[in-house]
Amino acid sequence: MRAPYGIGPLAPAVLAVRGAALLLALVALAHTSVRGLAEPGLALVFGLLVAAGELVRRGAAGEREPAPLAAAGALAYALLGDSAGRPTTHGALQVIAVVVVAQALAAVPRRACGRRTDADRAARRTLTVGFAAVCFQPLYASGQAERWFGDGPYFPLFPLTVLALTALCDAVLAALLARSAARAGGPGALPPYGSLLVDEVRALAGTGTGTAIGATGVVTALGVAVAGPWAPAVLCGPLLLTQVSARRYTAVRTTCGQTMASLARATEIAGYTPPGHARRVAALATAVGRELGLTGPRLTVLEHAALMHDIGQLSLLDPVAGGATARLPAAEQRRIALLGGAVVRRTGAGPEVAAVVEQQADPYREQPLAARIVRTVNAYDDLCGESVGGPLRALEQLRLGTGHDHQPQVVEALGRVLARGGLTQSGAG
């Protein structure tokens, strides 16, 4: 089976997630068809909310959740116990059925307009909402939740607990799909699943949109319990403002990345570094970082620092031959690195990226891991550009420098990455 858009064969993990979501959807649809739709008015309200959220999403690059309104509406329906003071009877399987139908209906006009649908994200939402509904609905309908938490001010702890468990379930699925996407991306290091899961869990607290989605879902469910089906129209409004803010933040980050890429080319245009040097170092450093277990924001810092590592050379009156500043005196190397860090700080790339650039001239034992990787990969590209005898000879010279200039683990990780890529001559292209 082939993945859409030519990304290669689907990984077993992706097939498992999609298969589980499809099976759950079929069971829910069959059960709801046989039993009939309970509280059709509520089902229509939440179905429209999910469908509208899917229709207004844009899926800009870098957004963790491009349809927060749909996600919050689906969670609210899964965590819904009462409506205007009366208990509901829709159950977990109807929640799944309504969410699946809403997503399918929203996909029709998107496909008609030529906009792609994300099968993995739809499957992930189906499983996540199903998990929340299965955790909440049976305990609420049986009265067990009321016996545990009471029917007073402590009851909101129940949906909040379910929400926390649901967020962890979503992180597990997101890390699984991210690892499968990395495998489908071609040869190279496969990020450890544990590192990806840690990044996803950290993002639960670090992403304002994710927090807003969960809070809106719980508040909407509690609002419907008191005010009835009109509550979602009022309570989900602020989430649209959060979505606009998140998109603006993503646009700023994208502009920052484009600025760094343009500045990285400035050294090539001015003749200070060989053509394509910054891009090669960034690509190879990112692969080495994955090999050493870096993921998420740490990998982004590494990539940006690798792009900008030579920007300080613009302060030189005359270019260094081949851009290899390792031949310069230590004080001059340090000055170039500090100037490069100062430029990076003005791009908005963040202090972490600037720190990596500033520490390029330090002994490797005093550098963070990202700086060690950039230092070693940069030296490798320089050696290949000097025609020292090809990649194998360049690696040999790096190994000879592990006593002072390069961390042995980084050099060996570079060797493994190059071996998987066929040991192409990095500095040649």
pLDDT at 28: 96
Give the DSSP H or E segment for 82. Answer: strand 82-83
Over residues 143-175, the pLDDT tens digits come to 898 888 887 788 888 999 999 999 999 989 988
Work out the mean pLDDT of the chain and round it to a whole number: 81
Model pTM score: 0.69
Over residues 254-295, the pLDDT tens digits come to 777 777 777 777 777 777 778 888 888 988 998 898 888 887
**pLDDT greater than 50 at residue 24:** yes
Write the Ramachandran bin of 322: left for phi over 0, alpha for psi from -120 to 50, otherwise beta: left
pLDDT at 162: 93
Over residues 287-317, the pLDDT tens digits come to 898 888 887 788 888 988 888 888 888 777 7
pLDDT at 190: 63
- For the ranges 135-149, 174-188, 215-229, 377-391, the lowest mean pLDDT is seen at 174-188
For residue 76, CA distances in Å to 143, 295, 352, 360 come to 19, 32, 38, 50
> Averaged over 61-68, what is the pLDDT?
60
pLDDT at 327: 67
- Radius of gyration (C-alpha) of the chain in whole angstroms: 26
Over residues 346-384, the pLDDT tens digits come to 777 778 888 888 888 888 888 889 999 999 998 888 888
**pLDDT greater than 70 at residue 423:** no
Phi, psi at 223, each rounded to 5°: -65, -40
Residue located via tokens 């970082």: 289
